[in-house]
Amino acid sequence: MLRGPNVHLRPLEREDLPLLVEWRNDPAAWKFFCNPHPLSLGGQAAFYDRLQANPYRRLFIIATPQGEAIGTIGLDDIDPVNQSAEFGNLLIGEKAALGKGFAKEATELLIDYAFKRLNVQRLYLNVHADNDRAIKLYEKCMFEHEGRKRRALFRDGVFIDVLMMSRLR
């Protein structure tokens, strides 16, 4: 478990899956997913099994020190040879927890984990160009803009650009 003053990061457990389905099926959250579609408990159980078998991926539950699960955060495509990983899966699912700094603290904990424990030299991410809240968070956490994928996603009848950002150790 990774511990900060206001949040802890713990590995996703099978018991978390109903909450994950609830959070991910919120239409407000869909707006910023790369592949928005309804999730089922069975589908998430299969996802969990694949996650457990994949040494190059980590998904954490963001929890309060009292143990209340409030969101998710993770690393994908952990590459020990090139010492890089994709930062992502950041979602504050509990509405009451939004805007309280939990996402920033969780992001900082995960960056520290990636750099110090996994020996990652480069973290990278993709973010919708219209996701101002996330972009500001990543900039505060020292991610730098690397580029723009123009018209990368099609949502609600319009194309959306995706920004590429990274942070070096």
pLDDT (average), residues 100-123: 98
pLDDT (average), residues 81-100: 94
Q: 34 pLDDT band (50/70/90 cuts)? A: low
156 inside domain: no
> What CATH code is carried by the domain that includes residue 22?
3.40.630.30
* Domain range enclosing 116: 2-122
- Please check whether residue 110 is in contact with residue 60, taking contact to mean a CB–CB distance below 8 angstroms: yes
pLDDT score, position 46: 87
Which residue in this structure is represented by tokens 């509405």?
A: 95
pTM for this one?
A: 0.92
131 inside domain: no
Q: In angstroms, how far is CA 113 from the centroid of its own chain? A: 14
10 inside domain: yes
128 inside domain: no
Q: What is the DSSP string of 134-159?
A: HHHHHHHTT-EEEEEEEEEEEETTEE
Based on the structure, what is the number of domains in the chain?
1
pLDDT (average), residues 25-49: 77
Structural tokens at position 56: 């190059």
Q: Is the pLDDT at 149 greater than 70, yes or no?
A: yes
